[in-house]
Structure 1
């Protein structure tokens, strides 16, 4: 009985450590995921927050604000649905990936790229 209780305590401790690890590393993982998605899917046109197709619509905070794209939800809508000449990425990326890259873009814009 004592051995079973010790085993139960050990399992509870492991579960607590795993929960803490996931909880504490989730934001860092999301940031890395957003950065890697941006690098793979967006940087071809938006390297360094620029816009090689339309230089007046960069990913700078000032341009995002001027174009009404200065919230995560507005950026999510832009990436999901696109707007010529930008394609819609809803068929290429999952919703959580779009959310991650949108958060990354806004954070980078707020930091000045």
Structure 2
């Protein structure tokens, strides 16, 4: 009985550890920068906004328009708004997450 319990506990531990790592996604800012360059920079070069200059990707503007979190930037990229098209059908979830992290990182570190 003790052997069966130990065996069950071992399998449960291995399953839990292996499945939890699949939920975690590593942030790849280099990929985010590449995705940004290929898909966003035409309108948002240097963190600006060529369509509506008041709504740049600079931290002050992100704060003003309540787009100052990873979740909100990710939602914007996925769904688009105004003249910005949605990218959910064009980019993978991982690419969208990485570009959202890149945009937020650039803004928070005042690199725009």
TM over 0.5: yes
Written as runs of structure 1 = structure 2, the 5 A alignment for 1:45-64 is 45-64=43-62
Stretches of 4+ aligned residues off by more than 2 angstroms: none
Deviation at 1:84, TM superposition (A): 1.1
The number of equivalent residue pairs is: 86
Measured on the aligned residues, the alpha-carbon RMSD in Å equals 0.9
Unaligned runs of 5+ in 2: 1-25
Deviation at 1:31, TM superposition (A): 1.0
- Give the TM-score, by structure 1 length: 0.74
Q: Does 1:93 align with 2:91?
A: yes
Unaligned runs of 5+ in 1: 1-25
More helix by share: 1
CA distance in 2, matches of 1:92, 1:54: 23
Written as runs of structure 1 = structure 2, the 5 A alignment for 1:4-19 is none
State the match for 1:31 in structure 2.
29
